[in-house]
Amino acid sequence: MAANLAQQVPDIEMLFQPTHDERARQQFVSGLRKHAIIDMREDMTRDYRERVEPALVARGTQPADWRDIERAMEKQPSYRFYSTVRYHAQEMCYLSVQPTIERALPAMIETGRKLATDNPHGGSLRLTPNFEVPRYVSALDVHLIPGCFHSEHTADDVAQGAVTSFGGKIFTGQHPYRKRPGVVAESVSHWLSVRYPDFKPRRILDLGTTSGKNLMPYAQVFPQAELYGIDVAAPALRFGHALAAHEGIPVHFSQQNAEDMDFPDGHFDLIVSSFFFHEVSSAAVKKILNECQRLLTPGGVMAQMELPNEAAVGPYENFFWNWDIHNNNEPFYGAFRASEPIEACVAAGFDRAQCFAHRIPDFASSGPEKLAQFVRGEIEAPPHGAGGWFIFGARKLA
């Protein structure tokens, strides 16, 4: 069905047609971000290990935590140059795709509108008029995305969905472990299938789904499951509905705040997310985890892919990860990373023995054999973002 539909249903992404100069700019920006996040990061780390840290130790002021390292590094040329390039490369990822999207926007809107009406793939799109976007989303351009995820400029708008999607491709385009769309869903779904071999979810919910790129891959591992995705951003949901229609994957998108969803108790067997919880306030995290507990059926699982918490890595790694607090419009990032995921799950009503917080291997680079070895406890997963992914969650007692 999916293959036949893909041939018949318009592909909204194919309307994105950069000119020669636009494509050259986008490729340059992608390469620049990769240079900052990988190459310049290595140079900065070397500078700290070989020059800055020894000088601090010699003065008797060895850093005790990531904040001490940040204070020591913030005036160092290696950090200032790295930070400047990374910030502007991040910003340019989204700016570089805007001209192409603006030119294609009328056709994108018409495609999204038509597919929402025809609904050829059996999915659904449910939006809420006058929906109140939480302030922790609306107050800032999160990730430096101009207009953030949610802004609407015209009727049936898909612009911010397209900017987030195509800007995200520039953002990850040259990263060795994030080139593939849906990489997180691919890895988490295969881990679940090995960790819980008898687990066959009937309904899967993705929190903060944006365009559903990390939801649709679950259909490959769990083809029997109905897929649901919620988000506060109507443009991203419209864009995602059009993507799913082209792929022939029935996804049920709805505009909802994850703190208070309208699904009935015990409606889902699996609840997932990708880089979602660090974007919301600490109060919202508690409410969302309570909702996960309510919505999971007995025996159901929640598996949230996130950044490693502070206790899971060392001081220097925390210094690196927490760059986003001050530089990427993510004010709740630090509070979330400072928390303990298992304690948060227990506070939401999950049994401690059923909770987990650890890295899993990237499926494409590790393959099924290494994944099975990892589940058996024979090997460790690589670091998060470098061949591994940090996840936390729990299984609800049957």
List pLDDT tens digits, range 117-169.
998 889 999 999 999 999 999 999 999 999 999 999 999 999 999 999 999 99
pLDDT at 37: 92
Confidence class of residue 5 from pLDDT cuts 50, 70 and 90? low
* Per-residue tokens: 335: 């509070």
Q: Is 7 a residue whose pLDDT tops 80?
A: no
pLDDT at 175: 59
* Per-residue tokens: 277: 């919880």
* pLDDT tens digits, one per residue of 295-342: 999 999 999 999 999 999 999 999 999 999 989 999 999 999 999 999
The DSSP string of 115-141 is HHHH-TTS-EEE--TT----HHHHTS-
Q: What is the mean pLDDT of residues 49-55?
A: 97
Instruction: Indicate the average pLDDT of the chain.
Output: 94
pLDDT at 364: 87
Cα–Cα distance measured from residue 91 to residue 280, given in angstroms and rounded to the nearest whole number? 21
* pLDDT tens digits, one per residue of 172-228: 875 554 555 678 899 999 999 999 999 999 999 999 999 999 999 999 999 999 999
Confidence class of residue 2 from pLDDT cuts 50, 70 and 90? low
pLDDT at 247: 94
CB atoms within 10 A of CB 392: 22
- φ and ψ of 101, to 5 deg: -70, -40
* pLDDT tens digits, one per residue of 56-103: 999 999 999 999 999 999 999 999 999 999 999 999 999 999 999 999
Q: Is 391 a residue whose pLDDT tops 60?
A: yes
In contact, 185 and 271? CB cutoff 8 Å: no
pLDDT at 172: 85
- Paired strand residues for 204: 227, 270
Distance of CA 344 to the CA centre of its chain: 20
Secondary structure class of 299 (helix, strand, coil): strand
pTM beyond 0.85: the answer is yes
Cα–Cα distance measured from residue 259 to residue 245, given in angstroms and rounded to the nearest whole number? 28
Q: CA nearest 391: which of 369, 361, 371, 348?
A: 361
Cα–Cα distance measured from residue 79 to residue 192, given in angstroms and rounded to the nearest whole number? 39
Name every residue whose Cβ is closer than 8 Å to that of residue 264 and which is 6 or more positions away in sequence: none
Amino acid at 372: A
Q: Is 240 a residue whose pLDDT tops 60?
A: yes
* Per-residue tokens: 25: 């700019």
CA angle 49, 53, 58 (to 5 degrees): 135
pLDDT at 181: 60
Residue ranges of E strands in the chain: 124-126, 203-207, 226-231, 251-255, 268-274, 296-306, 355-361, 388-395
pLDDT at 178: 54
Amino acid at 331: P
* pLDDT tens digits, one per residue of 254-306: 999 999 999 999 999 999 999 999 999 999 999 999 999 999 999 999 999 99
Return the C-alpha torsion angle 224, 261, 128, 219, nearest 10: -20
Cα–Cα distance measured from residue 228 to residue 208, given in angstroms and rounded to the nearest whole number? 11
In contact, 389 and 188? CB cutoff 8 Å: yes
The DSSP string of 25-45 is HHHHHHHHHHIIIIIIHHHHH
CB atoms within 10 A of CB 348: 20
Architecture of domain 183-208+258-395: 3-Layer(aba) Sandwich (3.40)
Q: How far is CA 353 from CA 337, 356, 396, in A?
A: 22, 8, 10
Q: Is 380 a residue whose pLDDT tops 60?
A: yes
- Paired strand residues for 390: 306, 359
pLDDT at 176: 54
Cα–Cα distance measured from residue 215 to residue 168, given in angstroms and rounded to the nearest whole number? 16
pLDDT at 185: 92
pLDDT at 6: 54
In contact, 319 and 78? CB cutoff 8 Å: no
